[in-house]
Chain A
Amino acid sequence: MADPARADLIHITYDANGSGQGSDVIEAGAEIVDMRDWFDDYLASVDDDRLWIVEADRAYLLDDNQTTREEIRYDLAAREFAATLVTYAQDRLIESREAVTVAEGKLQAAVQDALEAGVSAVDLAARLGVSRARVYQIRDGRR
């Protein structure tokens, strides 16, 4: 499980600094990505018309009814921002799984070519560091 604070970095830093100064960054793998501009766009996209709809629905109002419009605006933007990041990561996962499928097909074709070119299954297995049975599995597209 990742550090729970990571998810709230933007929230904390924006609350603490108002205009988003400071180190409000999200760690994404080995990269450090500054999301301030992106989040600002979200915040700006929550215009008064949308806020009015949300307020009318009262879904975002807290129990004490002291929530300000700016807090509602911020909360809505933060939720959409989080959903965007998660969706983006899920899209990347779909693409990378498709890349695995493509790579599997290329390996299968390459093994078929090698066997048809006269390379013995034993030699090919030794070359690839797999068992001879695995060579045939790859050739036949079995897992």
Chain B
Amino acid sequence: MMSIETAREILDNGPQVSNEEFFSLEPRSAEYQATMALRDEALAVVSAEVDRQDAAELAACYTAAGRYDGRW
């Protein structure tokens, strides 16, 4: 799995190609598919990190409030 830093960099800056170059690619071309797949993975990695933080924060908050002890 790519690191969260790499994923954020990809989403912030994208693959190092100009828009003109990117949109000149055939949508069905292998390069286009690989580029989109890279962005999709970056998006999934960032989304997982957000969910990981959210779950950890919720557990920590409710534990601190005496409402959650890890048991159902």
- Kindly state the separation between the CA atoms of A92 and B57 in the bound complex, as whole angstroms: 14
Write the chain A residue with the least CB distance to B17: A127
Instruction: Judge whether A29 and B54 touch: CB under 8 Å.
Output: yes
Complex: A52 Cα to B44 Cα, angstroms: 46
Knowing A87-B72, A92-B55, A128-B15, the reply to whether A8 touches B34 (Cβ < 8 A) is no
A7 and B54 CA atoms in complex are apart in Å by 12
User: Is chain B's interface secondary structure helix, strand, loop, or mixed overall?
Assistant: helix
Cα–Cα, bound, A78→B65 (Å): 10
Contact A103 B44 (CB under 8 A): yes
Residues on A with beta carbons closer than 8 Å to the beta carbon of B54: 28-29, 89, 92-93
> Does A44 make an interface contact (CB < 8 A)?
no
In the complex, are the beta carbons of B44 and A96 less than 8 A apart?
yes
Contact indicator A6/B61 (Cβ below 8 Å): yes
Interface size on B, residues (CB 8 A): 40
Q: Known contacts A29-B50, A29-B54, A85-B58; decide if A7 and B64 are in contact (CB<8 Å).
A: yes
Which one of B15, B45, B51 contacts A93 once the chains associate, using CB atoms below 8 Å?
B51
Q: In the complex, which residue of chain A has the Cβ closest to the Cβ of B34? A: A110
Shortest C-beta distance, A11 to chain B (Å), equals 7
The answer to whether A7 and B30 touch across the interface, beta carbons within 8 angstroms, is no
Count contacts on A: residues with CB < 8 A to the other chain: 47
A69-101 CB mask vs B (1 if < 8 Å, else 0) is 000000000111111011101101100110110
The answer on a CB contact under 8 Å between B68 and A79 is: yes
Name A106's closest neighbour in chain B (CB-CB): B37
**B61–A99 CB distance below 8 A:** no
Q: Roughly how many angstroms separate A89 CA and B15 CA in the complex, as a whole number?
A: 31
Q: Which of A4, A6, A103, A127 contacts B34 (CB 8 A)?
A: A127
Residue of B nearest to A2 (CB): B57
